[in-house]
Amino acid sequence: MSARLLSFRRLRLLLPVALAVLAACGSRVPTVLAPLPDRPWLVLPGDEVTVRVYREPDLTGQYIVTAKGDVFIPGVGRIPAAGMTADSISAVITSAYTRRIKDAIVDVGLVRNLPVLGQVVSPGVYRAEPTMSVQQIIAKAGGVRGTSLKMPTYLLQKGSDGSRYTLAADLRLDRLAIDAGDALLVVSPSWVERTAPGIATLNQFAGALSIILSILLISKK
């Protein structure tokens, strides 16, 4: 058997193996962000409960949830609000007023100061409502900064441990487990992060090709 034929056969055997290894390595994209917890916005101490009772100006106002988690609403009394969802506290207040006032029209809302940081025009703390979307609260911070940031990543960063969760732009805030100390971030992958998978793939391909060429050279000797 000639050396050239032997080299060709070795190439046929090794090339599929090298390409298979290359494909497997290239598909392993590391996951660095955790999945979003399936827990809605819950009332926290410091949140503001806004109440509007139509045709009843004395019952309209803004009320702060105390450090103990209670909120006092005129005409309703003290409510243990902490831990309730936006829908739950709205139902409690609306039900209390409709029992007291005939044909009452009640509008209940929640407001929380939420930091919006990262690549936005005006980073800072903004008043956020559960009915707002991620994109709407980002817009309050002036929107994404820089025309080159075409595909920004929206993150919820937890104040407790610094973990980060990716967010869809149209996701409503009342679907997020936003706790005290949390913040919304707008970030863009760095050039290294964007190009690292491609560079790694090229390096792996070069390594596989180097092995094949080395075998061919040995076979010729």
Per-residue model confidence (pLDDT) at position 140: 96
- Residues 145, 121: contact at Cβ < 8 Å? yes
DSSP reduced 3-state for 84: coil
- Residue 159 contacts by C-beta under 8 Å, 6 or more apart in sequence? 179, 180, 181, 182, 183
Q: CATH number of the domain at 48-188, out of 3.40.50.920, 3.40.50.1400, 3.30.1950.10, 1.10.10.10?
A: 3.30.1950.10
Per-residue model confidence (pLDDT) at position 83: 93
H or E element that contains 53: strand 48-53
- Residues 111, 132: contact at Cβ < 8 Å? no
Q: Where are the domains of the chain?
A: 3-30+192-220, 48-188
Per-residue model confidence (pLDDT) at position 159: 87
Rounded distance, CA 126 to CA 113, Å?
A: 5
DSSP string, 112-138: EEEEEEESBSS-EEEEE-TTSBHHHHH
Q: What is the mean pLDDT of each run of 10 residues along the chain (221 residues)?
A: 47 44 39 64 94 89 95 93 93 91 88 94 95 95 76 87 88 91 84 43 51 53 52
